[in-house]
Amino acid sequence: MCKKDDILMRIFQIFKPYNGRLMRFWFGGSLLIGLCDPDHVQKILSSPKLVIKHEIYDFMKVFLGQGLITGSGPLHKQHRRLIQPLFDIKFIQDSEKLFRKHVTVCIGKLEKFMDKGKFDITPLIHECIIDYFSEIILGLPFRCQLKGMSDFDQAMIEVFDLIFARMTQLHLQFGILFNLSSYKSVQDRLKRIIRGQGQKALEESRKRRSQLTKDPTIEEKFSPLIDRITNVLGEINDEQIIDHILTLYAAAEDTISNIAVFFVVCLGIYPEYQDKAVKEIEETIGKSKIPTLEDVPKLKYIDSCLKEVLRLFPIAPLIIRKCSEDYKLENYVIPEGAAIVVPVFNIHRDPAHWERPHDFYPDHFIPEKVVKRHIYSYLPFSAGPRGCIGKLISHNALKIFICIFLQHFKVEVDGKLSDLDLKMDISVRPKNSYNIMLKRRNWH
């Protein structure tokens, strides 16, 4: 019972006294069991009996159908098993070449803001990530950085607000009341735009694959995920293919751009860590060499910085599963039908696991500290049978982006991390734009 922008911190305060213990509460007619102990979380997320998403995710199905996030059951398991190998090293290598192309355009746009005072970097990074993932997932070269956002891009921004409104406002969870509200026309408009773009991507995919079939001499430069998914899943219906590609796009485009912005902001707030990251780049890659996939493993300190960003601003602040049968957890029984809630945001800021829980502190991830910490105290990409299948490509893209960014710019940010007010919808976000200042990187 609060403003939607205050829900994240309200949930954080509700769970905070129960760190390490189970708790239960009611949300309307739904019983929710909260788990903050990493031992409990490990048992839940790794159990093959607890892989069904709760009904609260059904509000996403209007737009994403039965994709890998919202789907459950044997068909979901089968499709995941077929899609996951598509993120192989060859695809990651080919994708990385395209990513560097789009980041180069982004750097050129950012240079116009050097020494011009404060500005909001969010839209510039977002446009870059849109161009990248639309090309490698949908097979559509949007050129958002050059032409501006399309109706589809705007719809993907709006849709998270709508889904979150239905998830958190009880009266909107009833179909009759929702259909009488102003949200219904908004939902219809967004669905038409988003699903229509999925259909367009599928039609373009069919044209590409048809040309390759008719003329085998055509050299295929890059095979986007939509082409690869269609090839491995065979003759499934159009709706299922669109479900998968829209799900993968939504899961990647929004979250990676969000994390990239937080990454830049954190380095601006903590110049001492920015200097360490720059020193690593100078010693391992160089001042001007564009990093490649082979360079990424050398960026160990930047890897620690990225993991710290993902700790503070997890992609999914909550994980919710449905208990499909009575489940015994130590001395407790979680009843069939209950929702099991894993408050990732709380676990990532629990002082029992983190030396400086509310600070940006990359040393949380030096090897000697990592080995002492429970593996399930850090869940940036979930874990277990439903863990994120795209985490490797996400990690590589973010490290390459920040490396190129720091080769060109020194970033400065006024204020402290505690000044950054946070909210949530599907992901964790800043309540307001967070302005930065850019200066040219002067290498000594």
Binding-site positions for heme:
388
**CB 66, CB 76: distance < 8 Å:** yes
Letter for the amino acid at 87?
F
Q: What is the spatial distance between Cα 380 and Cα 65, in angstroms, rounded to a whole number?
A: 24
Q: What is the spatial distance between Cα 179 and Cα 386, in angstroms, rounded to a whole number?
A: 32
Q: What is the spatial distance between Cα 426 and Cα 252, in angstroms, rounded to a whole number?
A: 12
Burial class (CB in 10 A: 0-12, 13-18, 19+), 373: middle
Instruction: Select from 21, 23, 15, 50 the least CA-distant residue to 37.
Output: 21
**CB 326, CB 49: distance < 8 Å:** no
Nearest-5° angle of CA 45, CA 394, CA 110? 140
Which residues are annotated binding-site positions? Answer: 388
**What tokens appear for 437 in the block?**
């200042």
Helix axes 300-312, 391-408, angle to 10 degrees: 110
Q: What is the spatial distance between Cα 18 and Cα 366, in angstroms, rounded to a whole number?
A: 28
Q: What is the spatial distance between Cα 439 and Cα 430, in angstroms, rounded to a whole number?
A: 23
Q: What is the spatial distance between Cα 242 and Cα 250, in angstroms, rounded to a whole number?
A: 12
Is 405 in a helix, a strand, or coil? helix
**HSE of 185, CA atoms in CB hemisphere, 13 A:** 3
